[in-house]
Copies of this chain bind each other. A is one copy, B any other.
Amino acid sequence: MVLNLASKSMALTYTEISTMMAHPESDLMEECLKEDLKFYFMNPCEKYRARHQIPWKLGLQILKIVMVTTQLVLFGLNNQLVVSFKEDNTVAFKHLFLKGYSGVDEDDYSCSVYTQEDVYESMFFIINQYHRLKNISLGMLGYEENEDDRIGLRVCKQHYKKGTVLPSNYTLNIDSEVEIDCIHLDPQVLNSENSGHWMNSSFFSLEFYRLLQVEISFNLKGIDLQTIHARELPDCYVFHNIITFDNKAHSGRIKIYFDTEANIQECKGLHVSGSSQKNTQYILMFDVFVIVSCVTSLILCTRSIVLALRLQKRFTRFFLEKYKRRVNDADRWEFINGWYILVIISDLMTITGSILKMEIKEKNLTNYDLCSILLGTSTLFAWVGVIRYLGYFQTYNVLILTMQASLPKVLRFCACAGMIYLGYTFCGWIVIGPYHEKVRYRAPSLFHQWSKYLEHKDLFSQELP
């Protein structure tokens, strides 16, 4: 779909049309069509001057921008709280469970260990901290059930199978098949009198030469109470934590990854008294008002497009009758105002987004992400739409037309430079990369990330039997 961004082409079309119609044998119908066309390609100011038609649509758009932006800011502040709650929890978990965590991740992994002793200490530290969680944690955390409906830690180690031992002792026998061993430690076991007994189990004597990774996973539940302050119901979270000791590279360095996934869930067994939810109601009313104005704008714009299509049909028929020629496609597209389509899309997104937002507010839904995409994109469209009105002022129009004209040249240059850059990237990555840190990580990060992702997927599918 082509967005005819400025009225230049319209003006041209209009003059074209005028000259076409300047024939003497024009009858009443032609005169009427001419008048309608003229009016159709006017801007709001001219319309007002011509027929004293008040620009309702223009006013509605301006009102909508103000409202949509306000709504976005309100939602954004709310969303910020949710995101920062998740992040703060992740940081807190890292400090609680990772031994010697410095406060910043080293790379995509949190920290790394270099000696066997450190590996054991880090593992036992995690298990002990999990055990003592209620006594050390500052948050409202509780143990939550695993996927297999048991409460506790799940420690899995993944290693190559031992190969068949050959007579000569000096050879290393490894089977490339991967084995997975798991153990389940529930709080009762950890709590029993002979605590620390589990440490001596054969499971925890690792054979580093064939170890691929150790994965400690556990679920925790938490409550985000800060929403109480805004007189809303609190959100409940389940945190799926996975700590991975990655020895896949066998390079003498085990990288410790900490992955946490926070899901919002329905709160059970939580009673909040004294919360008067008047605040929420005002916001819901505001959302309803936004929806109403968007629906109105939607109806007005749809009507405009329908009228435009009807006018186009009339014009086409007239043109065919009079000049025995079909109107060409470009001229027909002139009748479809791209801005209206933009507004319609924006309106549809705002309506969907607002409904989602209200549902989230009512704690029926929790998908903040979809809602933020809908509201954000619709606001972007609304603001971009302002450029259309700037196009009505002559000086700005020149600016917009210049930008329109120069765009293809810029794109063309980029295409040309892009070729060389792409070649350079591939070449630079592979030739210079291994010897220079910056090139290695910047240029091919796309491929790197992508390959890692694939590899990761691959491993996961192997893990689960």
Contact = CB atoms under 8 A, between A and B. Distances in A.
Nearest to A229: B248
Instruction: Determine chain A's interface SS by DSSP, over half rule.
Output: helix
Q: Give the number of times this chain occurs in the complex, counting copies.
A: 4
A174 B272 contact: yes
Interface in A255-284: 269-275
A171 B92 CA distance: 25
Interface in A156-206: 160-161, 163-164, 166, 168, 170-177
Residue from A140, A166, A251 with most neighbouring chain B CB atoms (10 Å): A251
Interface in A415-446: 415-416, 419-420, 422-424, 426-431, 433-434, 440, 444
Contacts of A91: 253
A138 interface: yes
A390 B412 CA distance: 10
A80 to B, nearest CB: 7
Contact of A88 (B113, B208, B253, B272): B253
A270 B250 CA distance: 15
A152 interface: no
Contact of A434 (B274, B372, B390, B429): B372
Contacts of A376: 426-431
B252 A96 contact: yes
Interface stretch (A30-38, A54-62, A218-226, A322-330): A218-226
Nearest to A114: B95
A415 B386 CA distance: 11
Instruction: Give the interface residue-count category, chain A.
Output: 35 or more
B431 A160 contact: no
Contacts of A63: none
A444 B175 contact: no
B447 A76 contact: yes
Interface string A75-105: 1110111011100110111011000000000
A135 to B, nearest CB: 7
A39 B8 CA distance: 44
A412 B223 CA distance: 50
A223 B176 contact: no
A427 B92 contact: no
A170 B143 CA distance: 13
Across the A-B interface, give the 10 residue pairs with the lowest CB-CB distance, nearest first.
Answer: A383-B423, A139-B252, A92-B252, A88-B251, A380-B427, A376-B431, A171-B269, A176-B275, A376-B430, A376-B427
Interface of A: 69, 72-73, 75-77, 79-81, 83-85, 88-89, 91-93, 95-96, 113-117, 119, 135-141, 160-161, 163-164, 166, 168, 170-177, 208-210, 222-226, 228-229, 231, 247-254, 269-275, 368-369, 372-373, 375-377, 379-384, 386-387, 390, 395-396, 399-400, 412-413, 415-416, 419-420, 422-424, 426-431, 433-434, 440, 444, 447-448, 451
Given A85-B251, A379-B423, 14 more contacts: A83-B433, A89-B252, A138-B254, A175-B274, A176-B272, A177-B274, A210-B225, A224-B251, A226-B249, A375-B430, A386-B423, A387-B420, A390-B419, A396-B416
22 contacts: A72-B430, A73-B444, A76-B430, A85-B251, A88-B249, A91-B253, A92-B114, A92-B252, A95-B114, A116-B135, A140-B208, A140-B209, A171-B269, A172-B223, A176-B229, A372-B431, A376-B428, A377-B427, A380-B427, A381-B423, A383-B423, A387-B419
